[in-house]
């Protein structure tokens, strides 16, 4: 019960400013502990990802970075994203070609996403996909990476419409 709530951060009302700060600081700690550099660029991109629990496209990130007089190019964004994805500080939402900040940085194992098609918020779960894993094992398939993206309507949005 408590677990579910925690996992579904995106769909529960919370102090998001605190949420952002906590995640940013967790990212700093994680990088320090792994002897990696959370450079200014990487931090900028992570902060943009953490602005909301909605995924954002690489070119939208780029646009935000270029809001001032800066004129940087796509590779800069993609490289920062590459770093964040590798370290598990962000995730790629395949069905949207977009990216989102990880809400439990440092976690091990696979992640699943609940994507609301109405408010566009994305919640991150951490269940084992047990039945599938068993099926895979039965046919001798060794899972390396999983993409589990469930699109639908979150509780809030159901109320607002129906």
Partner DNA sequence: AAAAGTTACGTTATAATATAACACTATGAC
Partner DNA sequence: GTCATAGTGTTATATTATAACGTAACTTTT
Counting contacts by CB under 8 A, is residue 68 touching a second copy?
A: no
Burial of 102 from C-beta contacts in 10 A (0-12 / 13-18 / 19+): buried
Name the CA dihedral angle for 154, 24, 145, 142, rounded to a multiple of 10 degrees. -110
- Nearest Cα neighbor of 150 from 23, 10, 46, 12 is 10
Residues 124 and 7: their CA atoms lie apart, in Å, by 6
Counting contacts by CB under 8 A, is residue 11 touching a second copy?
A: yes
* Closer Cβ to a second copy, 44 or 112, answer by number: 112
Q: Which residues in 39-98 contact DNA (CB under 7 A)?
A: 39-42, 57-60, 71-76, 78-80, 83, 97-98
Partner that binds at residue 143, options a second copy, DNA, Zn ion, none, CB closer than 5 to 8 Å by kind: a second copy
Counting contacts by CB under 8 A, is residue 83 touching a second copy?
A: no
Site residues for DNA per CB under 7 A: 36-37, 39-42, 57-60, 71-76, 78-80, 83, 97-98
């Amino acid at each position: 019960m408590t677990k579910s709530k925690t996992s579904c951060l995106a769909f529960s009302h919370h102090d998001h400013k605190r949420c952002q700060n906590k995640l940013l600081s967790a990212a700093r700690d994680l990088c320090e502990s792994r002897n990696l550099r959370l450079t200014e660029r990487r931090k900028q991109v992570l902060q943009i990802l953490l602005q909301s629990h909605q995924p954002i496209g690489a070119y939208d990130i780029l646009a935000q970075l270029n809001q001032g007089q800066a004129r940087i190019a796509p590779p800069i964004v993609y490289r920062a994203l590459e770093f964040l994805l590798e370290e598990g500080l962000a995730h790629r939402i395949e069905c949207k070609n977009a990216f989102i900040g990880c809400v439990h940085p440092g976690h091990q194992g696979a992640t699943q996403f609940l994507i609301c098609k109405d408010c566009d918020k994305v919640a991150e779960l951490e269940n084992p996909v047990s039945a599938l894993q068993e099926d895979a094992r039965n046919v001798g398939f060794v899972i390396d990476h999983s993409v589990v993206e469930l699109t639908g309507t979150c509780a809030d949005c159901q109320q607002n419409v129906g």
